[in-house]
Structure 1
Amino acid sequence: MTGTVGVPTRITQGARTRGGVGESTLRPDGILKATGEFAYASDLWHEDMLWGHTLRAPHAHALITRLDITEALRQPGVYAVLTYADLPAAKLYGLEFRDQPVLCDGRVRHHGEPVALVAADHPETARRAAAKIVVEYDVLPPVTDEASATGPGALVLHPDRDDHHAAHVPHPNIVHRQPVRRGDVEAARARAAVIVREEYEVGMQDQAFLGPESGLAVPADDGGIDLYVSTQWLHVDREQIAPVLGLPEEKVRLALSGVGGAFGGREDLSMQAHACLLALHTGKPVKMVYNRYESFFGHVHRHPARITYEHGATREGRLTHVVARIVLDGGAYASSTPAVVGNAASLGLGPYVCENVDIEAIGLYTNNPPCGAMRGFGAVQACFAYESQMDKVAAGLGLDPVEFRQLNAMEQGSLMPTGQPVDSPAPVAELLRRVRSMPLPPERQWESAGEGADLRALPGGLSNTSHGEGVVRGVGYAVGIKNVGFSEGFDDYSTARVRLEVVGGEPVATVHTAMAEVGQGGVTVHAQIARTELGVAQVTIQPADTLVGSAGSTSASRQTYVTGGAVRHTCQAVRAKVLQIGRRKFGSYHPAWATAELLLERGKVVTDGGEALADLADVLEEEAVDLELEWRHRPTHPLDRETGQGNGHVQYSFAAHRAVVEVDTDLGLVKVVELACAQDVGKALNPLSVVGQIQGGTTQGLGLAVMEEIVVDPESKVGNPSFTDYLIPTILDTPPLPVDVLELADDHAPYGLRGVGEASTLSSTPAVVAAVRQATGLALTRVPIRPEHLTDT
């Protein structure tokens, strides 16, 4: 007890439990990951386990005319070979609707599509057995773009599609279409002093996570399956897997294993159903680990896009109208293309005010690799195009590009082109001001006193291609808008279970959610929230699994908002119950138990004035408070199918970038010297993690600007499925990334926070391209920029 009963002690006013919200606490997995001791899914092991392997199609579009597994089954050490004919139940799966075969159904729709599965006692045995499978193909011409997908005589890739989008598209090879229309564009055109039209192209980017797809499926005694897997969404995986296995969901149990990065590429199924099928068929645990080559075929990518924009403005610099057509290539299967299309359309104006808008976004079925979620989710493609347009319009008016953006910047109270009011801070102009006011890096940093050029600071780097001849500097700006959370009426909720008890004389909180920790730092934040709400120093985070209710996906910048909100909500309910117990036990000793606002701080029950009424250990004694609750943010609503009007998003986030580049105009080489960012985060729950998220997103945007692209040839085959040929920024490519964090609270969100992880990915790409344009004077309408784009005349 706190001294004599009825004589409260006083603790320092405002003394909070350490390690709570707003502090840069260390990640519990940080040291293990930095030292290489962290256990990833690829490290899973089970006695007597088999190894699974997938045979994949070498063509993008073909009919299977013969499939013979005889020789594969004869190989010593092979336990099973499965094809489409062996599937015990549902044959299709998919995120938004079921259109993707678990194994090829006789028609190959993309390069690398799974055709057969092998289970063997050694991974090399499985690979060699797969090579013994005889598959004969009748190769067909691929559907590659909008013209071949929707033109006269176009082959319908999914003639039996049955989804709620099908009735609203003009062609069955269009997965989804979303217009956004507002105002009178034709009348606005007549008022425009300057009109700029341009076409843009965005290449196919890969999430390029370092940890390959991997997992271990273990048959259970009850006839079910336990799957240990690296994923982004345990419960939606289970929803798709259970029908394929012919099992009820309660017999399909998933637990999260160590995830080596995700960025959207683990939202869809990869090896999950395959490993479970092999394990149930053989009765043995089956492990599957993709190599890097297979990983490029085993997950979705960022949608490549072809985008046409028209912007008009008055002589004074006010936007009169914006017209856009955004064509996203979804590849062979739908994945999350409908939601990506919705984002591209509803965010296609950018963070600007314009009363007259006509935007149309469509997503296609083609025979190109399947595309789906990737950091930025439809907003990245649009941002590159509309920010390029803002620079071109500013140039046409003779205005400063930053001031032109600020003149048209939205603010709190502005209307989105969907008609939704922005009802939280929207500091677009301020972010641009802040990023512009950061000191510029010094010129000619490659010069070393008396020692010649420092090659590391030059375009081309240590390849010794330049010593500074023909190197020109450029500076560019961009700003973007991203939604937070799932949209358009999706029931976006999360679940948290929180237990508070006394262990060894000390109060301990245990937090259990199904949130996938993919590197974003959610396990750190959940502990911080529990410390803040329950006033305890010791917090245990339970491993994520399907034994607790769904936490939704680790995507859409939503986990800190939604699952963090669920943890906070449940902790507050636990606290209320603890206070009930305290009032029952000790209420008669002091009137503050009934009259004061009571908090839990540093293991004690305290008043808001700082009086400690009791130790938590004395309140709880042998009792434990254990609650599992769901939490939802305010609802969103579907967008109108023809006008795009509606309150489709729960929250918006904003970031602005300034890029400084140096370009060797003779060789077409780009060196990004600095990439500065200013971003509003509402409330930084863990400031160090927030900066890390912003820098990570910035770097992925840099990659899209100057190097990252999956190259697909005219036959729709992937040409560079390796980290030798698919380039991502290394530490030598990544410049200083100064970050200015603005905290303007969103009153609708827990702690006023704003989703952080994606916004910085949007504007970093167009900022880099704008800087290269300033350095070279070239139009540069495509990303990534290639050397030939800078040297061709």
Structure 2
Amino acid sequence: MSLTPAELTSSVSGGIGSSPQRPDGTLKVRGEYAYASDLWHEDMIWGATLRSPHPHARIVSIDLTEALKVPGVYAVLTHQDVPGQNLYGLEHKDQPVLAVDVVRYQGEPVALVGADHPETALRAMKRIKVEYEVLTPVVDMETAIDDTPLHSGGNLVRHVPIRRGDPEVPADVVVTGRYEVGMQDQAFLGPESGLAVPAEDGGVDLYVATQWLHVDQKQVASALGMPLEKVRLTLSGVGGAFGGREDLSMQVHACLLALHTGKPTKMVYNREESFYGHVHRHPAVLYYEHGADRAGKLVYVKAKIYLDGGAYASSTPAVVANAATLGIGPYEVDNLSIDAWGVYTNNPPCGAMRGFGAVQAGFAYESQMDKLAEALGMDPVDVRIVNAMTEGSVMPTGQVVDSAAPVAQLLKLVKDKPLPPPSDRDLRNLPGGVSNTTHGEGVVRGVGYAVGIKNICFSEGYDDYSTARVRLQVINGEPAALAHTAACEVGQGLVTIMQQIVRTELGVERVTILPMDTSIGNGGSTSASRQTYVTGGAVRAACLAVKDKLARLAAGRMGLDLVELLGDEVIDETVEWRHRATEPLDPVTGQGNAHVQYGFAAHRAVVDVDVELGLVKVVELDCAQDVGKALNPQAVLGQIQGGSAQGLGLAVMEEIQTAGGKVRNPSFTDYLIPTVLDMPPMSIDVLELADPNAPYGVRGVGEPPTISSTPAIVAAIRNATGLALTRVPVRPEHITGT
């Protein structure tokens, strides 16, 4: 069959709009997929990390003598052994690779051990003697700014004010509220792990589970005092991320041990160490005041938002900006005053987690909308629809929403779904399940609604781009394509999407995705729901460049099929692709076109609550979401289900509990996450209202459902109990009052 380049896009199956089998799917289901914790190298040693037991203390002395005596120990390192800069950080270099004179959170790395066996490393680690002078920790986010400075610049990481109109205008109805969001963990499947291999050129090759290869490379190279080209990173199998792998964990530590000993060094955290070894969702305290007229139309909104960043900055500046700029939700309000602060404390460091900033604000503003509906005697969905933004609406920052914003439509879709039948009193379907805690007495059903908004891609003028290489050639008589990026596959299915794009654009069935590494240009972080948009855009652009060369090759040679046309030719194109530009926020007014794109999702939750025991069963959790274009419909549903599950966890069970800065529950025995038994049936409506500014019209999918699922579930519990419930997660004692 002969094809012109223009006909390639429809010539093969498995392109965009279909749901082909994931190339990693079978291996993962069968337990045969190689994750970073499965890495192995001949003659490798194992690394272990000594961590501070105190949230805040001065290091008086460190004695390594007994640790070095343990047979099988190759090295014991402290900050004195860091050859480069002993500071790193995503946005601000404020975190030491190894503590120098002070520790600022429980679990901060103090020393490293390299040994011939992981148990040997742990035994030696326990023999390191550290004398501490314990200091009073700063733990209250609302007073931290005026408390003991934990860093030279004080305890304020960032303040974002948003001002528009006159927030002092009078309103017929005013509702106020104080809300709290607990500290949530990403709870990914695979713990932090990687393997560092010293190289012949004096550099190091690091194989690691991460979300952002090039930012890791930059920070590791700085700490090692090496040029970038001598620090090479390759992505290993990643068992989930959700933001928890954006910051460094064991990357520098493994490289230090490998270069110091000359031996490949593997590090794998156990689950408890993982709780200390990565950032978490920012806990928050939020104060809101909404004013409306008697028809329910919002007149003004005022908000003060406090976010606890913990000991180091991480992503706190961006989280603060998201909480502020998205702080009123997907609603039109002409007059507003929002202030958001991110602060340092001696609590565990907090950073990126799915929907960051928008999740905390979403719980508060949606709780306020329910409170406003009650004060007005209106239906909670109707009051939202009265205020729903649309395409052309103006954000609090003054930015015009220039693509679909179907907020009212999403709300109507979930409201119009049929409600589930009453409980059949089967123990398996009641709060508490087969633990036989209740037989239906005291069980009340409630229904709740929520809608949320999330920015997609990086914001505020960040140079957000991705690099992709696409190669087309004939292999064994068959046309084949190769795609290479540094964009991290963390379980979300990016490898499948890239194959689909190449098949669609080049009409080639056989598409190979090369391992992600730093031998190609930056792919950006797998976060902000950006990879399908940005790396997908880069792969598409590289394919178009290949097609352009193919068209020139085909000129005057019509009638040849692709194999004949290519012959021994190899067409290889590398493209750096950017989305449209954004701009920084005005530091005084918070005005500016800060975001690339917005995503919207709405939920309806149906719950059964045993009001006597405080137990909750989520009976149904329905969702409607606009995805722009479903490149892979099955993957889209999976993202919506997964995001909703994490929102359910925050609503009723997930919280890292701290006391005086110390973590009380660093294990899955005490930190509860939803299982298949907790997830209810989900009816999902997927809208495809294309964004004209995005490749294929796509809209980021993974984060919006996390934002609206939590407040919808809490609204349903309120509906069942009549309680205010101003804090998540909702605990049994919040319902029973005991």
How high is the TM-score relative to the length of structure 1? 0.92
Separation in structure 1 between the aligned mates of residue 591 and residue 38 of structure 2, nearest angstrom: 48
Pair 92,471 (structure 1): closer, same or farther in 2 beyond 3 Å? same
Could you say which residue in structure 1 is the equivalent of 2:331?
A: 352
Could you say which residue in structure 2 is the equivalent of 1:659?
A: 605
Separation in structure 2 between the aligned mates of residue 146 and residue 698 of structure 1, nearest angstrom: 28
SS of residue matched to 2:523:
coil
Separation in structure 1 between the aligned mates of residue 475 and residue 67 of structure 2, nearest angstrom: 56
Could you say which residue in structure 1 is the equivalent of 2:721?
A: 776
Separation in structure 2 between the aligned mates of residue 347 and residue 661 of structure 1, nearest angstrom: 28
How does 1:135-284 map onto structure 2 within 5 Å?
135-151=130-146, 154-159=147-152, 161=153, 172-186=154-168, 188=169, 190=170, 192-284=171-263
Query: Does the CA-based 8 Å contact 1:456-1:732 persist in structure 2?
Result: no
Separation in structure 2 between the aligned mates of residue 342 and residue 380 of structure 1, nearest angstrom: 13
Q: CA deviation at 1:331?
A: 0.2
How does 1:370-381 map onto structure 2 within 5 Å?
370-381=349-360
Deviation string, structure 1 residues 66-116 (Cα, Å, up to 9, x no partner) = 210010001000000001122111010000010000001110100000010
Runs of 4+ displaced beyond 6 Å: 8-14
Could you say which residue in structure 1 is the equivalent of 2:619?
A: 673
Alignment counterpart, residue 575 of structure 1, candidates 547, 560, 576:
547
Separation in structure 1 between the aligned mates of residue 8 and residue 235 of structure 2, nearest angstrom: 41
Choose 460-469 or 9-18, whichever is displaced more: 9-18
Query: Does the CA-based 8 Å contact 1:194-1:312 persist in structure 2?
Result: yes
Query: Does the CA-based 8 Å contact 1:184-1:356 persist in structure 2?
Result: yes
Separation in structure 1 between the aligned mates of residue 566 and residue 141 of structure 2, nearest angstrom: 65
Of all paired residues, the percent bearing the same amino acid is 69
Q: CA deviation at 1:533?
A: 0.3
Does residue 425 of structure 1 match 2:413?
Answer: no
Q: CA deviation at 1:725?
A: 0.3
Deviation string, structure 1 residues 670-704 (Cα, Å, up to 9, x no partner) = 00001000000000000000000000000000000
Could you say which residue in structure 2 is the equivalent of 1:116?
A: 111
Does residue 464 of structure 1 match 2:464?
Answer: no
Query: Does the CA-based 8 Å contact 1:474-1:774 persist in structure 2?
Result: yes
Please tell me the residue identity of whatever aligns with 1:542. Answer: L
Separation in structure 2 between the aligned mates of residue 77 and residue 473 of structure 1, nearest angstrom: 61
Does residue 329 of structure 1 match 2:308?
Answer: yes
Deviation string, structure 1 residues 389-436 (Cα, Å, up to 9, x no partner) = 000001101111101100100000000010000000000000001111
Query: Does the CA-based 8 Å contact 2:8-2:507 persist in structure 1?
Result: no
Q: Which structure: larger Rg?
A: 1
Separation in structure 2 between the aligned mates of residue 28 and residue 155 of structure 1, nearest angstrom: 52
Deviation string, structure 1 residues 218-253 (Cα, Å, up to 9, x no partner) = 000000000000000000000100010011000000
Does residue 37 of structure 1 match 2:60?
Answer: no
Q: CA deviation at 1:12?
A: 10
Pair 10,341 (structure 1): closer, same or farther in 2 beyond 3 Å? closer
Separation in structure 2 between the aligned mates of residue 547 and residue 394 of structure 1, nearest angstrom: 55
Pair 87,24 (structure 1): closer, same or farther in 2 beyond 3 Å? same
Q: CA deviation at 1:10?
A: 14
Please tell me the residue identity of whatever aligns with 2:403. Answer: S
Could you say which residue in structure 2 is the equivalent of 1:537?
A: 509
Could you say which residue in structure 2 is the equivalent of 1:744?
A: 689
Does residue 53 of structure 1 match 2:48?
Answer: yes
SS of residue matched to 1:676:
strand
Alignment counterpart, residue 648 of structure 1, candidates 582, 594, 604:
594
Could you say which residue in structure 2 is the equivalent of 1:130?
A: 125
- Unmatched tracts of structure 1, length 5 or more: 3-7, 162-171, 448-452, 590-612
Pair 631,9 (structure 1): closer, same or farther in 2 beyond 3 Å? closer
How does 1:311-330 map onto structure 2 within 5 Å?
311-330=290-309
RMSD: 1.4
Separation in structure 2 between the aligned mates of residue 639 and residue 524 of structure 1, nearest angstrom: 36
How does 1:485-504 map onto structure 2 within 5 Å?
485-504=457-476
Alignment counterpart, residue 729 of structure 1, candidates 655, 674, 677:
674
Could you say which residue in structure 2 is the equivalent of 1:168?
A: none
Separation in structure 1 between the aligned mates of residue 412 and residue 129 of structure 2, nearest angstrom: 63
Pair 77,465 (structure 1): closer, same or farther in 2 beyond 3 Å? same
Query: Does the CA-based 8 Å contact 1:487-1:650 persist in structure 2?
Result: yes
Separation in structure 1 between the aligned mates of residue 45 and residue 293 of structure 2, nearest angstrom: 68
Could you say which residue in structure 2 is the equivalent of 1:688?
A: 634
Deviation string, structure 1 residues 582-622 (Cα, Å, up to 9, x no partner) = 11x51xx6xxxxxxxxxxxxxxxxxxxxxxx4311111110
SS of residue matched to 1:178:
strand
Please tell me the residue identity of whatever aligns with 1:494. Answer: S
Separation in structure 1 between the aligned mates of residue 223 and residue 438 of structure 2, nearest angstrom: 57
- Unmatched tracts of structure 2, length 5 or more: none
Q: CA deviation at 1:344?
A: 0.4
Please tell me the residue identity of whatever aligns with 2:624. Answer: A
Separation in structure 1 between the aligned mates of residue 10 and residue 719 of structure 2, nearest angstrom: 52
Query: Does the CA-based 8 Å contact 2:9-2:506 persist in structure 1?
Result: no
How many residues matched? 738
Could you say which residue in structure 2 is the equivalent of 1:409?
A: 388
Query: Does the CA-based 8 Å contact 1:110-1:368 persist in structure 2?
Result: yes
